[in-house]
Structure 1
Amino acid sequence: MGRPVWPLRPLPDGRGEVWRWNLGAVAELPAARAGLRARLDGVGFPRDPEDQAAERLVLAFDELASNALRHGESPVVATVIAGSGGWLLDVSDRAADAMPTPAVGRDPAQGGLGLYLVARLSVAHGWYVDSGCKHVWACLPTTIQDREPAYS
C-alpha cells in the first residue's frame, strides 16, 4: 500500500450548490462546522444510516480549514460544492509559496496528521495556486463504500 501524498493537481470541475465561509481565526471553526452541518441537513443527498459520509466531509472541512488558518495567510476561504455524486471541498489562503506538507516522522500524539486523514477520506485530492492564492482541495463521496483510498 502506498503512502498518501498531497499532489500538485488542478481543481476538478465541480457543478452543484456552492457553500462558502470566509474564516479569520481558528475560533470561528465551530460556527463554520455548525453552518456546514445545517447546509447538509437541508439537501436531499443519499445518506448512509449513520451519516458517516457527512461527518467525513465535516472532518475534512475542519482539517483543511484549520491548516490554512494555522499555517497559511489570511484571508482563508472554505468552499464546498455539493454535487450529485459527492462534495468538492476547496480551502484557499494567501500563502501561495507554502505547499501543503504532510508531517513525516512525527509522533501521532503531536498531531499534524490532517493531510493524511483527508487523503484517506477522499476519492481525489490535490492543491494548486491561482491568482496569488494556494488552494487545497479534496473530493469526498456522499456515501461510504468499501474502496481503496486515493493515492497518487
Structure 2
Amino acid sequence: MRRGPAVPGWPPAPPPPAWDGLSWQLSDVSQLPEVRDELRRSGEVDGPADLRDRLLLVLDEMASNALRHGGGHVEAAVRRTGDAFLVAVSDGAAGSPPTPAVDRDPGQGGLGLYLIAELSTAHGWYVDGDAKTVWAVLPPG
C-alpha cells in the first residue's frame, strides 16, 4: 500500500507542528547505534512495537543520508504531532534537496527516500538559513 508519492523528488513543504521528543547532535555515522539504542529505551514512543521499528528505520535512513551528503553537523529529532510522530533531520546542505535515486541498481543503495515515503503519511523538506531539514510523519499503526 503506497502512502507517500513515488516520485523522483520530495515536495518542498514545512512539517506539521510538533512537540516533546528526543533530539541528537550528530557528526558521524558511528553515533547512530547509540541513537537507535536511546530511541528503543525511551518512553517517548508509545504504541505498537512495529511503530518503534519504523521510527528507527526512518531516523537511521535520514540521519545517515544527512551525515554522508549533508556537510558535517547534523541535528536529528523524533517528536510528537498529535497521535503521530515527526522525524526531522537537518544538515548544512541547504542547496541540495533530497533526491531519490533513479534507475540505480538496488544493490547499490539509494532507495532510502523511497522507503521513507512508503512508511510515512506525509514527508517533505525546507530550508531555513543555511540548513536544510528533511522530515517525515509516521502514523502510530
TM-score, normalised on structure 2?
Answer: 0.91
Q: 1:22 aligns with which of 22, 25, 35?
A: 25
- Which sections of structure 2, spanning at least 5 residues, go unmatched? none
CA spacing shift, 1:92–1:52, aligned 2, 3 Å: same
Q: Check whether the contact 1:73–1:94 (CA below 8 A) recurs between aligned residues.
A: yes
Q: 2:12 aligns with which of 8, 11, 14?
A: 8
The reply on whether 1:45 has 2:49 as its aligned counterpart is: no
Mapped to 2, the partners of 1:6 and 1:111 lie a distance apart of 18
CA spacing shift, 1:38–1:102, aligned 2, 3 Å: same
Moved over 6 A (4+): none
Kindly state the Cα deviation for residue 37 of structure 1 after the two structures are TM-superposed. Answer: 1.0
The reply on whether 1:54 has 2:31 as its aligned counterpart is: no
Q: Check whether the contact 2:92–2:131 (CA below 8 A) recurs between aligned residues.
A: yes
Q: 2:37 aligns with which of 34, 41, 63?
A: 34
Kindly state the Cα deviation for residue 142 of structure 1 after the two structures are TM-superposed. Answer: 1.5
Q: Check whether the contact 1:26–1:69 (CA below 8 A) recurs between aligned residues.
A: yes
Mapped to 2, the partners of 1:46 and 1:99 lie a distance apart of 32
Aligned residues between the structures: 137
- Which sections of structure 1, spanning at least 5 residues, go unmatched? 144-152
Could you tell me the percent identity over the aligned residues? 49
Letter in 2 for 1:45: D
Quote the residue 2:105 is aligned against: 107
Mapped to 2, the partners of 1:137 and 1:62 lie a distance apart of 12
Q: Check whether the contact 1:76–1:92 (CA below 8 A) recurs between aligned residues.
A: yes
Letter in 1 for 2:124: G
Mapped to 1, the partners of 2:45 and 2:117 lie a distance apart of 26
Report the 3-state secondary structure (helix = DSSP H, G, I; strand = E; otherwise coil) of the residue aligned with 1:10: coil
Mapped to 1, the partners of 2:62 and 2:45 lie a distance apart of 25
Q: Check whether the contact 1:89–1:139 (CA below 8 A) recurs between aligned residues.
A: yes
CA spacing shift, 1:18–1:46, aligned 2, 3 Å: closer
TM-score, normalised on structure 1?
Answer: 0.84
Quote the residue 2:116 is aligned against: 118
Q: Check whether the contact 2:21–2:44 (CA below 8 A) recurs between aligned residues.
A: no
C-alpha RMSD of the superposition: 1.5
